Amino acid sequence: MPESRPTPRQIFDSLTSEDISATGLLRQIANWLRPGPDESIEAVCQRIDLLEKALEENPDASDAIARILQDWLGTANYFLAFAVLGLFPRQGFLRELGRRFYEHINPSPLNPNSLSDALPLIFNKKTDPQWVNELSDESWMKLFRILWNAESGDAPKLLWKTISELLYALEMLSIWVAGEELEADLVRLEPRIVSRDSAFVALQREVSRYSRCYEAWISGEKSTLEDDAHARVLLEQCMDAVTAFRKKSVTKGTSIPLSYLLERLDQTLKRIQDILNILDPKDPVSARQTAIPLFKELVRASRQRRSVRALFQRNLRLLSRSITENTSDHGEHYITGNRKEYLAMLRSGAGGGIVIALMALIKIRIMAMALNPFPETVLVSLNYGLGFMLIHILHFTVATKQPAMTAARLAEAVQQGEHGGANPKMIADLLIRVCRSQFIAIVGNVSVALSLAFGIGWAFNLFWGTPILSQQASEYQIYELKPFESLALLHACIAGVWLFVAGLTAGFFDNRAAYIGLSARLKNHPLLRRLLPPGAREKFADYMHENYGALVGNFFFGILLGSTAYIGLLLGLPLGIRHVAFASGNLGYAMSFSFPGFPLFCLYFLFVCLISFCNLWVSFGLALSVALKARDTKIKSFPKVLSALGQQVKAAPFSLLFPPADPIKKDPEKTEKSLNGQTKEQEKNQTG
C-alpha cells in the first residue's frame, strides 16, 4: 500500500504526540513534499510555499517543529555522514559486497541519532534521490529556513557542534588520504613517493594545523582566523597527483583495486574541498552553494549504501574504464586526419583484403571436407583466429575492428567537452574523420577481397578446368547474403557483438601487459634467455608488450566467429555470423562460378553493404555506450553535435568520404625573400 500524503494540519496535530520524533516529523514533511507520478517539481515548490504560509499562521507549531529538530540535532552524530557516506568504502570491493549481501539478509537497525542512518529513514522511497536532486538549491534553502526558525532554540550551541563535527571529519579524511600514499599500486606507479614528502602527507599536516586554529578561533582563544589558502594549494596538488596517477596507469597498467583506490582518493579530496568551503566564514555564498549539493549527494548515497546493484554498477564502470583507457590510447591510430594517412589506411585495408580472400578460400575448403561439427568448428576457428593475427602482424587492417577503438576516442572527446576541452564542432569533426576512415578501410578490404576471390576462382577454373565452388556451394554463398530469405542481417549483428567483445578483450590484455610489465618479464625469461640472443629477445619482448592485446583480441575474435554456428547447433538455435569482408570474398568466389549479370551483381553487393552496416553500427554503438559509461559521461549536447555535423557536411559534402586537400607548406626562406623583393620594388616605385 502506498503511504498516504499527510496535510500540514495533520503534521501540526502530530506535534502534540509523545511518540513524535525528529525523524518521524521530517519523514512526514518529506511525504508531504514528494511529487506524485504525474506531478512536476513545481508541485514541490508550491507545497513549500503552502507549508511556509501554514507555519506563519501557526507560530506555536513553528516553534514546536524548531524545538524538536534542534533538540535532535544537538544530540545527533554527524561524523559518519560527513566522512563516510557517499565515499567508496575502505575495505575494498569483495568485503563490501559481502557486507551488503548480509545487510539484505539480516539488516542492522538504523540509529535515528546518527545523521547517516536518519537520512534513509526520512527519505524512504527509491525515487526520493531523483526529486531531491531536481529541486533547486534555493527551494531547499527556503525549506530549511522555514523549519529552522532561528528565533527559537539555542542556535549558537548547534553551530559550535556542527563546526566541531565538520572539523573532526575534515581531519580524519586528511589522515586517510595521507595513509593511501603507501599503497603498493601507487608505489608501483610512482616509486619516488616513498622517498620524499608527498602532497598527501603535507595536506594532513596543514589540515590538522588549520583545525586547531579554527577551534581556537570559534572558542574565543584567538581573535582572528587564519585563512585556508595553504590547505587549498596542497589540496590542488593532491588532485593533480591523482590525475598524474591516472595517466601513468594507462601506460603502466591498472586494475580494479587501483581504479577503486584512485576513485576513492578523488571522492575523499572532493569531500575535503566541500568541508573547507562550508567552514569558510569569509564566503557564506560558497558555503551555501556547497552545502545543498552535498546534502543531495548524501541523500542519494544513503539510499544506495545497501544496494548490491549500485556497488556492481560503480565497479563495472571502473573495470570498463580500465579497459577502454587503452582502446582510447590506440584509437587515434585508426582515425585518419590527412590524405597521406587516408591513403595509408586504404593500403592497409587492401592488404587485409588479400589475407581475407585467402582465409575465405581456406574456410570453403574446410567446409567441403564434410567433417563432424566439432573438428570442423576447431579448424574454422583457427583459420579465423590465426588469419586475423597474421593481418595484424603484417600491419594490415580489418575494417570492422576499428569501431571499438574509435568509440573510446570519441567518448574521450565527449568527456573533454564537459570539462571545456572539446566542443560540438570538434566532436562533429572527429565523427567525420571516423566516418571517412572507416569508409576507406572497408573499401580496401571489400574491393581487394572481392576482386582477388573472383580472380582466384577464375584462374582455378582456367588452369584446372573445374570451378572452385560447386553449383550448390555457389548458390549457398549467394543465399547467405540475401537479407530477406536468410538471417543474414541478424547474423551480421551477432558478428557486430563479437567485434565489440573482441575490442574489450584487446583492451583488457593491453592493460594486463602494462600492469604486469610484460616486456621486462620476457626480456628476463629464463627460457628465452637460452633460446634468443639479447637483441632478438629485446625486440620480441617489446613487440609482444605493444601488441599483446591486439594479438589476443584478434585470435579471440576468430574463435568467437568460428564457434557461433556450433553453439547454435548445440542450443538448437539458428545462430551464425556474417562479416562484411568474408561476405565480399564469398561473393567473389560465387561470381567466379557464374556471373549473373551486372544488375544482379550490384544487388548482391548492396547486400554486402547492409551486412557492413550491421557489423559497424552494432559494434560501434555497444563500444561507445560502454566507453561513455566508463567515463561517467554522456552526449548532453547531441542536437548541437548534429547541427555542427550538418553544417560541416553542407559546407563540404565529400568530407564524409574523402579528406580535404593538405595545406600547401610554404618555405619560410622563399616567403621572406619574396616579401623583401616586394618591399624593394615598392621603394623603387615610390622613389621614381
Of 641, 621, 250, which Cα lies nearest the Cα of 414?
A: 641
Q: Is the CA virtual torsion 137, 111, 82, 223 positive or negative? A: positive
CA dihedral over 448, 449, 450, 453, signed as positive or negative: positive
| φ, ψ (nearest 5 deg) of residue 77 | -100, 125
Pick from 127, 172, 147, 162: nearest CA to 34? 127
* 436 three-state secondary structure: helix
CB burial of residue 453 (10 Å; 0-12, 13-18, 19+): buried
CA distance 561 to 326: 24
| Total H helices, total E strands in the chain | 29, 0
Is residue 203 within 8 A of residue 174, CB to CB? The reply is yes
What count of other Cβ atoms lies within 10 Å of the Cβ of residue 575? 18
* This prediction's pTM: 0.76
- Asked whether the beta carbons of 148 and 66 are under 8 A apart, the reply is yes
Cβ count within 10 A of residue 64: 18
Sequence-separated (6 or more) residues with CB below 8 Å from residue 228: 210, 276, 279, 280
Report the pLDDT value the prediction gives residue 88, as an integer from 0 to 100: 86
Number of residues that this document lists for the chain: 688
Angle at 129 between CA 128 and CA 131, to 5 degrees: 70
Residue 482: predicted pLDDT: 92
DSSP 63-119: HHHHHHHHHHHHH-B-HHHHHTTTS--TT-HHHHHHHHHHHHHSPPPP-TTBHHHHH
Q: Is the distance from CB of 555 to CB of 393 less than 8 angstroms?
A: no
pLDDT score at 355: 96
Positive or negative, the Cα torsion across 428, 429, 434, 435?
Answer: positive
- Nearest-angstrom CA–CA distance, 146 and 682: 80
Angle in degrees, 0-180, between the axes of helices 137-148 and 41-57, rounded to the nearest 10:
20
| pLDDT in the model for residue 563 | 96
Cβ atoms of residues 339 and 263 within 8 Å: no
> Residue 422: which H helix or E strand, with range?
none
**Helices 339-368, 471-479: crossing angle, 10 deg rounding:** 130
What is the DSSP track for 521-567?
A: HHHT-HHHHHHS-HHHHHHHHHHHHHHHHHHHHHHHHHHHHHHHHHH
Report d(CA 390, CA 393) in Å as an integer.
5
Give every residue of the chain whose pLDDT is below 70, as ranges: 1-4, 16, 18-19, 150-155, 321-334, 401-423, 632, 635-637, 662-688
Backbone angles phi and psi of 422, in degrees to 5? -145, 155
**Number of other residues whose CB lies within 10 A of the CB of residue 473:** 18
**Which pLDDT value is given to residue 85?**
92
405 near 331, Cβ under 8 Å?
A: yes
399 backbone dihedrals φ, ψ, rounded to 5°: -55, -40
Alpha-carbon span 382 to 359, nearest angstrom: 10
**Closest of 573, 569, 583 to residue 479, by C-alpha:** 583
pLDDT at 1: 39
- Tally the C-alpha atoms within 13 A of residue 60's C-alpha that lie toward its C-beta: 6
What is the DSSP track for 334-366?
GS--SHHHHHHHHHHHHHHHHHHHHHHHHHHHH
Measured distance CA(228)–CA(239) in Å, rounded: 16
Q: What is the pLDDT of residue 542?
A: 94
Contacts of 188 (CB under 8 A, 6+ apart): 252
Structural class in CATH, domain 327-656: mainly alpha
> What's residue 404's pLDDT?
59
Residue 538 DSSP label: H
* 3-state SS, residue 181: coil
Instruction: Say which residue the cell 524548531 belongs to.
Output: 66
Find residue 77's DSSP bridge partners. 114
Helices (DSSP H) in 631-667: which residue ranges?
638-651
Alpha-carbon distance 173 to 319, whole Å? 26
Q: What is the 3-state secondary structure (H, E, C) of 396-421?
A: CCCHHHHHHHHHHHHHHHHHHHHCCC
CA–CA separation, 22 and 244 (whole Å): 46
Gap between the Cα atoms of 504 and 405, Å rounded: 9
In this prediction, residue 362 carries a pLDDT of 95
CA distance 575 to 240: 50
Task: Indicate the DSSP class of residue 524.
Answer: T
Helix axes 598-630, 402-418, angle to 10 degrees: 40
CB 206 within 8 A of CB 233: no
Number of alpha carbons in the 13 Å side-chain half-sphere of residue 242:
22
CB atoms within 10 A of CB 483: 16
Report whether 330 contacts 405 (CB < 8 A): yes
